[in-house]
Amino acid sequence: MLKRKLRKNVDVIVFLVFITIVYAGGWQAEVFGFVQRGILAIGFFDAAPQDKIEKKPVRLDFKLYDQEGNVIEVSQLRGKTIFINIWASWCPPCIAEMPGINKLYQQLKDDPNIKFLMISVDEEQKKALELHHRKEFDFPIYFPASRLPDALSYQSIPSTFVISPEGYIVYQKEGMASYNHPSFQNFLNGL
């Protein structure tokens, strides 16, 4: 009788063991991020330039730390297109969209007029650095060294902003998206 019940419920038992291992190992963000990356691949969440966004001015008088601990004055990026992504290593949607952002970065990294600021809000910076290294991402990551401007406020992560060379937010998205496609790349190049 017990063997028959176990055989009937083997799928439930395997699922529960899997979930236990994932959580005990601290891999939930990466596992669920992998699943969400599959959803991004379908194309339902492609980032598209927004025609009717209210362009908000943003002050660039804030500072970030780079991966080596050097302070970066964001105001030095005035006159450039700035792609900002606010993320954390514990956030599955953040992890899901990072491979696409990395591909976009690889395509545009040599353009001196476009800068990428991947800003981690992890309380433990070590976790963000470990994820970045383990996934072999090329984009540099940064950490807040001062308060972000109010124009870059967000309710959830990931949150992505594009700032025009004139200093206006021309794209804003909360939640995951696929940024590595020609229309978004053309949008960035056109600024």
pTM: 0.82
Handedness of CA 129, 187, 109, 40 (dihedral sign): positive
Evaluate if residue 177 carries a pLDDT over 80. Answer: yes
Residue 162 has pLDDT above 90, yes or no: yes
- Among the listed residues 160, 157, 151, the one whose alpha carbon sits nearest the alpha carbon of residue 116: 160
Full residue range of the structural domain in which residue 138 is found = 56-190
Q: What is the pLDDT of residues 92-102, one digit of tens each?
A: 999 999 999 99
Contact between 165 and 83 (Cβ < 8 Å): no
- Number of neighbours of residue 100 by Cβ within 10 angstroms: 22
Tens digit of each residue's pLDDT (9 = 90 or more) over 65-94 = 999 999 999 999 999 999 999 999 999 999
**Residue 1: inside a domain:** no
d(CA 117, CA 27): 25
d(CA 3, CA 17): 18
Q: pLDDT category, 37, cuts 50, 70, 90?
A: low
- Tell me, yes or no, whether 108 lies in a domain: yes
150 within some domain: yes
CATH at 63: 3.40.30.10
Position 130 in a domain = yes
Q: Return the higher-pLDDT residue of 22 and 177.
A: 177
| 29 domain residue, yes or no | no
Residue 126 lies in a domain: yes
Average pLDDT score over residue span 101-118: 97
The mean pLDDT of 161-171, rounded to a whole number, is 96
Give the pLDDT of residue 29: 72
114-120, strands of its sheet edge to edge: 56-57, 168-174, 159-163, 81-87, 114-120, 141-144, 63-65, 71-73
The count of domains in the chain is 1
- Flag whether 13 is in a domain: no
Does 135 map to a domain? yes
Local confidence band at 47 (pLDDT 50, 70, 90 cut-offs): confident
